[in-house]
Amino acid sequence: ILNVEQSPQSLHVQEGDSTNFTCSFPSSNFYALHWYRWETAKSPEALFVMTLNGDEKKKGRISATLNTKEGYSYLYIKGSQPEDSATYLCALFQGAQKLVFGQGTRLTINP
């Protein structure tokens, strides 16, 4: 069974602070790593799709890095804002037409 692990499971951060969390996955047969943001009562929203070792992607204050050889990805949020409060999901795509998701990191920004 393919295991995608995210840590921590939950995180409380003061507004204005920066934070990061981790997604770990088996490094063999890697194809793509996805990050999603899921706000309560809304659709999960794709943040990044990363395919190459050493990939770095950025979207506003959010960025992500990928290390396929050691099997991890980091998501960084700079200067957290209350609207960043959400669950952040990573998912591994190894072909075979499906994604395997981690349990998510629930982020709460305290004003």
Point out which residues bind another protein (CB under 8 A).
4, 31-32, 34, 36, 41-46, 49, 51, 89, 91, 93, 97-104
CB 3 within 8 A of CB 26: yes
CA angle 35, 70, 65 (to 5 degrees): 35
| Closer Cβ to another protein, 69 or 98, answer by number | 98
The CB-of-17 to another protein minimum distance in angstroms stands at 26
| Closer Cβ to another protein, 71 or 104, answer by number | 104
3-state helix, strand, coil in the chain (%, to 5): 5, 55, 45
The CB-of-44 to another protein minimum distance in angstroms stands at 5
